[in-house]
Structure 1
């Protein structure tokens, strides 16, 4: 069985989806605007963040950086600070770089053509399609995980979504369903259906507006779709940090942009062997990234000499900060959690 989509009337299914969306579409702040800058920001934020988790971050980010000029002229640290809590910080760095692209290559005006949007740093096929359709009415499908899941189930289509041709394949299928001049609403409807009804696990099939047309549902094969065979094996990585402090101050340094956690702040990695006597405790943290399983060991070192503390910082390019100042810096999630727990325990003493 390659596909049974010949049993469905594509446009009929698309119109049913739009009728459902007109009544049940989510009331979201970025749906009250056609400003491509704001749509771009929201699409990047919600790529890897659930709506309910990211809404306040979206509002705060737009309030601080209301337009591309403000974003482009801001410091990287400030952009990262307002991204704090969203994770995948490379998204924020790419937003900043793309804003500079818009200033330099498009005279500060957000590009209107799909191919130009696709040239922006950090913008992939999905985001370019979403902005193009929602803001500029381009007849293009914004295919993402929701599209793969919904279309695979509705048409009981076993095309492997890990296949490099999956985006093109499901784009063509979606376009057959998409009524003319409704691309933006159609794409948003598909996003809502995939997020709210056709979920990866425990989908609400009885409430789905397409359950009568859904072949997987009617065949009792919802768990079989979508089909995905290729899995990327996660690699193991060990990291060793030292939290070096002296009388409430501690050392940090900004990471480079050639590995994980680009431009975020971290603790020292190495310390003089004679400091081992000043280790007060050690903590091991397990943390998962998309393709990496991290084991992070943090040694808490409490120095007794200010001269030793400041000399080490000066010679090795570390910044000395305190708790209050640390709130203005962005750290990888496991280090952020370490600081949060440390300060909480300190305040309770």
Structure 2
């Protein structure tokens, strides 16, 4: 820890942040509630979705599943359908399982203890800290990328955020700034400052309430922070699908629990050799996941008779679907795009 940081008044910085938040905090629908269920849903949605993109999805999801009981009782396909457009469908599956977990282990009452919240399926340290601090007053920082970025810059701290000890290090730093009894508000303020002002690129330092205290700003080194030395390698994969169709019907199946796109629907990824003579077109697209680059080939197999389609479905345990029926199911984005394009002339 640098001597300048040792001399910093941590609590003063935290109080300035709260004062700014009181005047400039975002007026968001989930900020008007302390219902842990709704805070949980919003935290999961907005982990990997921008606020402006996810707000209507949040409203729709809460309208259909207003509490733990309705979410736990819903069919998996319906939960996935209401998640459509948000991506990272494993989040929806984990929400569904965690709701059932709350029914079984907590009699339908959302747990109030940090450790019990952390034990829910799909809930990590950040989400557990956010819920327990915002809803139940826990004095725990909800450390995420915003915390890493803001604290690294304010204190010109070169601690490697890709280190396994980064979470604990920045948690202890944030605790020194967090005013007593203001854990939830402090976490919300840090979220807003990190997303609106202290952005990864093109930060609005002139508008920042902490620019007088920010050592990175004062020394002209804002873009040097945070420090991250380890980068996860991106892997390249190629996937092939066969859109097997006849009489405006086609074959689909539901994926299992393994690997990517759990429980989503897809086209067959193989087709009998004797049917390949009916391939009419090939569609190639690129799709990027967090640590994977996918090259996807979709071959359209136009069969001359519907009976061939139905026999193949029975033999290989596929579902025969129409576009209207497929619209009520969730597909990986590249396949959903393919179906949407088909809708114009299929």
TM-score, normalization by structure 1: 0.98
- Whole-Å separation in 1 of the counterparts to 2:235 and 2:243: 26
Contact 1:2 1:159 in 2 (8 A): no
- Whole-Å separation in 2 of the counterparts to 1:4 and 1:192: 26
Match of 1:123 in 2: 123
- Whole-Å separation in 2 of the counterparts to 1:320 and 1:276: 19
Shift of 1:321: 1.1
Shift of 1:7: 3.6
The 5-angstrom pairing of residues 45-64 of structure 1 reads 45-64=45-64
- Whole-Å separation in 1 of the counterparts to 2:35 and 2:203: 33
For residues 231-257 of structure 1, the C-alpha deviation after alignment (integer angstroms, 9 at most, x for no partner) is: 110111111100111111111100001
Name stretches of at least 5 consecutive residues in structure 1 with no aligned partner: none
- Whole-Å separation in 2 of the counterparts to 1:327 and 1:34: 35
Shift of 1:147: 0.4
SS of aligned partner of 2:206: helix
- Whole-Å separation in 2 of the counterparts to 1:296 and 1:332: 11
SS of aligned partner of 1:91: helix
Q: How many residues align?
A: 346
Match of 1:163 in 2: 163
- Whole-Å separation in 2 of the counterparts to 1:324 and 1:307: 21
For residues 58-117 of structure 1, the C-alpha deviation after alignment (integer angstroms, 9 at most, x for no partner) is: 000000000000000010000000000000000000000000110000111000000000
- Whole-Å separation in 2 of the counterparts to 1:336 and 1:306: 23
SS of aligned partner of 2:286: strand
- Whole-Å separation in 1 of the counterparts to 2:336 and 2:306: 25
The 5-angstrom pairing of residues 148-227 of structure 1 reads 148-227=148-227
Shift of 1:139: 0.3
- Whole-Å separation in 2 of the counterparts to 1:147 and 1:173: 10
For the aligned residues, what is the CA RMSD? 1.0
Shift of 1:4: 3.8
Q: Does 1:336 align with 2:297?
A: no
Shift of 1:3: 7.1
Q: Does 1:99 align with 2:107?
A: no
Contact 1:251 1:319 in 2 (8 A): yes
